[in-house]
Amino acid sequence: MTENAPIISTGLNHSFGTGEARKQAIWDVDVSIARGSLTVLMGPSGSGKTTLLTLLGCLREVQDGSVRLLGAELRGSDEAQMVMLRRRLGFIFQAHNLHESLTASQNVLMGLQVHGAGNARMQLEATHHMLEIVGLSDRMNYLPGSLSGGQKQRVAVARALVSNPQIVFADEPTAALDKESGLNVVAMLKALGQTRQTTTVMVTHDNRILELADRIITMEDGRIVNDAET
Amino acid sequence: MSRLLTYLFGRLPIGWLQLSHNKARLAAAVSGVAFANLLVFMQLGILGALNGSTIAPYTMLSADILVSSEDGNTLTDSGNVARTRMFQALGVPGVASAAPLYIGNLPFSMTDGTSVSLLAFGVDTSHPSFVSPVIAASLGALETENTALLDTQTRGVPETAFHGLLEGKPFSFEVNGQTMTAIGTLEVGGGFLADGTLVVSDQTFLRFFERRSSGAPSHILIKANDNVSLDSVVERLEAVLPAQSVKVQTLEGAAKADLAFMSTERPTGIIFGFGVLIGIIVGIVIVYQVLSTDVADHLREYATFKAMGYGQPFFLGVVFEEAIVLAIFGFIPGFVVSLGLYAGLSAVTGLPVSMDASRAILVFLGTLAACTISGALATRRLAGADPADLF
């Protein structure tokens, strides 16, 4: 386990429900993810990979064990500390979760404005540049309702990456994309790892992108059953 | 609009963008707030008219102190005072002069059969200093038997009558089998108790009110000496006059007491005050419904923003931004429609229903406060936005 890894979990357990309805979803997970790597979490539905992603991603309270994220212990952290940590992360959701009232450009801008008002013109330029990178320069002022599923996902990717996050957590980011678009998105995440040392943790069932992964962690019944570097 | 708000907030105006995205919901919300504003404006307008018409008769008088029957409620709703109290008062140090004032309700029928009720004020024509300059200028003419000054805003009197009066043509009408002749005009305005006002001499008054006696006026008007504390004169008068039969107030204090009585003890004042409260509650409920529905509809987006690192102040800001937008957008049409309804109501009823800046500002601030309260209640729903549920 590398001490300066951006993500380190030790003896991590997590349960849902109480009393007789209590069900343990994560069992004693020890994992350390290296800076700049592209790690894929695989496994059947209900294997605990999404729960693990939310625990590592500071979206769920750590009940038992330890998660050190970017050097900060998440167990026992208060809401304000969690909020500040999340600003250093990027999230890509399967359902993209774009704000329907905001244009593509405004959705991406939200990823920047969380860091403060800053220089509005520079923020706008960065937003437009990010949308150009994901191939949506001609859709900047479109509302999500006017975009295709793939275009929405690319906006979500742009939103997650525009603030240069140190870690990107992605849940099935290629599910709504065709093969070429999917590979482009993952290739972009991998390139970020190489150029900016951005760490990516991705849950996916998409075998087409496994060849780009640096590491594949397979989970079953809340446990890591296979952990392989490629 | 978005650019202006972006400039003002230093961030994207999420609240405005959310509201304006769903035009139908925005229109319904704005209509709701406008309706609540309209309710409040109308109630305040009528309450204002009630207060205005209560105070209006005081503008005809020029006195420092009013001696009234102890059981009197207001200037126009009072028992009689023995005129001997006036002579007693004249003997009190600090009292310069005194005069009786007679008030009574005089119903009469127009030639077209319309019934009009006039509040008649009988004044002492030998004391012009106790009435307003407009009345004082006509006191000499009022000494002629059965002559009067007629309120130009009297309901039910044809406008042609006033045109003639303004051109110097007297207007005669019949009351209790006697002819009354209006020889001049004054402006007081109708009220809730009468259609208009009539000023006559005390002698004419007693002729039309056969059961009234010159020895029992409605009030006694008192002027104090210059440079004398009115409160001290009031205290001296109270020491001399029997408290069980008369009360002594400054004229200003009497007007305030009338307002308080009409607003808090008469059903009309309470009803309109209650109407204001209902309007405010309706507004709060409408805005709360709109905002809480909006929050519920956007929980997933809010959860996404939470995952991105936006904190609670941001979400509160969005909800309050929506509340303020609704307050402003709802106030404007509510205010404009109220202006039209005020004009219509005033024309139809003759009541002094009018908008003033202080009322507009008060209602606007009240709207902002009500919307803010609604926003504060709606923010409780934000707790349902859990970013962990997004995966």
Residues B279, B318, single domain; the answer is yes
Q: Quick one: pLDDT at residue B117? A: 85
Binding-site residues on chain A for chain B (CB distance < 8 A): 50, 53-54, 57, 59-60, 79-80, 83-89, 91, 93-95, 97, 99-102, 106, 109-111, 113-114, 117, 120, 143, 159, 171, 203
Residues of A with Cβ-Cβ distance to B391 under 8 angstroms:
50, 53-54, 59, 93-94, 171, 203
Domain count, chain B: 2
- Residue B316 Cα, gap to closest chain A Cα (Å): 15
> Chain A closest CA to B13's CA: distance in Å?
10
Q: Hey, how many other C-beta atoms are within 10 angstroms of the C-beta on A13?
A: 16
**Which ipTM was obtained for this model?**
0.88
Interchain proximity B307–A50, CB inside 8 Å? no
Question: Do B117 and B176 share a domain, yes or no?
Answer: yes
Q: Which of A85, A88, A102 sits opposite B17 (nearest CB)?
A: A102
Window 76-95 of B, Cβ < 8 Å to A: none
| Number of A–B residue contacts, CB under 8 Å | 77
Contact call for residues B66 and B251 (beta carbons, < 8 A): yes
Beta bridge partners of B147: B181
* The pLDDT of residue B149 is above 60: yes
C-beta of residue B47 within 8 angstroms of C-beta of residue B276: yes
Asked whether residue B10 is domain-assigned, the answer is yes
**Cα B96 vs. chain centroid, distance in angstroms?**
33
- Supply the pLDDT for residue A2: 57
With CB atoms and an 8 Å threshold, state whether A86 touches B307.
yes
Residue to mutate among A74, A94, A99, A113, with most B CBs inside 10 A, is A99
Q: How confident is the model at residue B375 (pLDDT cuts 50, 70, 90)?
A: confident
Domain range for B373 is: 2-54+267-382
Tell me the mean pLDDT in the region B269-285. Answer: 83
Across B154-173, average pLDDT:
78
**How far apart are the C-alpha atoms of B220 and B197, rounded to whole Å?**
19
CA distance B345 to B343: 6
Which residue carries 């593509």 as its tokens? A104
Q: Answer yes or no: is B256 within a domain.
A: no
Cβ–Cβ below 8 Å for B387 and A59? yes
pLDDT in 10s for each residue of chain A, 230 residues: 556 799 999 999 999 988 888 899 999 999 999 999 999 999 998 899 999 999 999 999 999 999 999 999 999 898 889 889 999 999 998 888 899 999 999 999 999 988 875 677 888 899 999 999 888 989 999 999 999 888 888 899 899 999 889 999 998 888 777 788 788 888 888 888 888 889 999 998 888 888 889 999 999 999 999 998 87
Among candidates A57, A97, A203 on the partner chain, residue whose Cβ is nearest the Cβ of B301: A97
Q: Give yes or no: residues B199 and B94 share one domain.
A: yes
Q: Do B304 and A93 touch (CB under 8 A)?
A: yes
Burial A124-148 (b: 16+ CB within 10 A, else e): eebbbebbebbebeebbebbbeebe
Name the percent of chain B lying above pLDDT 90: 38
Where residue B371 falls among pLDDT bands split at 50, 70, 90? confident
Confidence of residue B109 (pLDDT cuts 50, 70, 90): confident
Mean pLDDT over B104-119 rounds to 79
pLDDT for the residue B312: 85
Considering only CA atoms, give the Rg of chain A. 18
B72-84 tens-digit pLDDT: 888 988 899 999 9
Which pLDDT score, from 0 to 100, does residue B367 have?
Answer: 87
Q: Cβ A84–B309 below 8 Å, yes or no?
A: yes
Indicate whether B195 and B312 sit together in one domain.
no
Residue of A80, A102, A159 lying closest to B12 (CB–CB): A102
pLDDT 10s digits, B175-185: 877 888 889 88
Class of domain A1-16+24-88+165-230: alpha beta
The pLDDT score that the predictor gives to residue A72 is: 92
List the 9-28 stretch of B: residues with Cβ below 8 A of A.
10-12, 14, 17-18, 20-21
> B228 with B121, same domain?
yes
- The mean predicted confidence, pLDDT, of chain A is 89
The verdict on residue B16 lying in a domain is yes
Torsion of CA B309, B313, B318, B324, to 10 degrees: -170
Task: Tell which of B308, B314, B325, B386 to mutate to test the A interface (max A CBs under 10 Å).
Answer: B308
Q: Is B305 on the interface with A (CB under 8 A)?
A: yes
For residues B216 and B307, state if they share a domain: no
**Domain limits, chain A:** 1-16+24-88+165-230, 98-161
Distance from CA of A159 to the nearest CA of B (A): 9
Percent of chain B with pLDDT over 70: 99
Q: Which band of pLDDT confidence, cut at 50, 70 and 90, is reported for residue B314?
A: confident
> What residues of B are in contact with residue A93 (Cβ under 8 Å)?
304, 390-391
Average pLDDT of every residue of chain B: 87
User: What confidence tens digit (pLDDT) does each residue in A120-174 have?
Assistant: 788 889 999 999 988 898 999 999 999 988 888 889 989 999 988 999 999 888 8
Give the one of A101, A110, A120 whose C-beta lies nearest to B308's C-beta: A110
User: Does residue B255 form part of some domain?
Assistant: no
State the average pLDDT over residues B302-309. 89
pLDDT (0 to 100) of residue B154: 83
Nearest chain A residue to B19 by CA distance is A101
Is the same domain home to B352 and B290? Answer: yes
The reply to whether B5 touches chain A by the CB within 8 Å rule is: no
> CA of B302, closest CA in chain A: separation in Å?
9
User: According to the model, what pLDDT value does residue B269 have?
Assistant: 76
